[in-house]
Structure 1
Amino acid sequence: MPHSSPLRVLETCLYAEDLDAAHDFYTGVLELKLHSRAEGRHVFLHCDTGMVLIFNPDATEVCDPDGIPCHGSRGVEHVCWAVEREDLDGWRDRLIAHGVAIEHEQSWPNGARSVYFRDPAGNSLEFATPRLWENDPD
């Protein structure tokens, strides 16, 4: 049966054992809106039309044979958010004002720019201007 390719990424997952710190960082610093929270298990956040799911790996690597397949990770993950070119410096300044260290800033050959930083769990996060990938619209 014919089908089209996927439309977009609907959700992405990060992992953090300290969900309180993750909640405070993602809602307070990055201004994502809380969708739901299950104590000790997860924090789910809205990011425009997508979702950022933050799981405690201690809870999600245990498989429930009658439920959603187990999934979990340990170690550093990466997520990149697109931000408008004119907003990138403001986001960098906001991160610094909240005590978040800027790990790296990159100017790409195609004119895109990126700012890299870490969340409290050590995950690698990035804000980038939309033209980071050649097929991205301005």
Structure 2
Amino acid sequence: MLMTITAPSQAQHASAEGVRVRFTIEGKALSATLEDNSASRSFLAMLPVEVTLEDYASNEKIFYPAEKLSTADVPDGVDPEPGDITYYVPWGDVALFYRDFRYSAGLVRLGRFDEGAVPVLSASGSLKARIEIIK
């Protein structure tokens, strides 16, 4: 998987609660709101980043961050819904769900797209994306 890292944000976030990020996927801007947990704070620290989203299991797009995200205070798992942004601890990938899926142990919710993500994410094949904090 190709991943180009740009200079990470220098700001350390004490909280990720309500922080908004922009995913620009194939030229379409989608906003998302993050939850507050150690994985979300780790995710914020790596932004901005450019990635290639790969389809996985016809229900999510995934990418592997350059480093594993912290999972110090996360629940054992979640039941993801379309529009959820998650981190799968066992494999170390970020997953963007565009279809419903069952409860999965080791899955951590980072946040949720505000709206409009499902049609963009469900496009077939790989997608180029830039992820950045909305200031």
TM bucket, shorter chain: under 0.3
TM, length-normalised to structure 1: 0.23
- The answer to which structure has the higher helix fraction is 1
Q: Report which of the two structures shows the higher radius of gyration computed on alpha carbons.
A: 1
Report 1 or 2 for greater relative contact order, CA contacts < 8 Å, sequence distance ≥ 6. 2
The structure in which a higher percent of residues are strand is 2
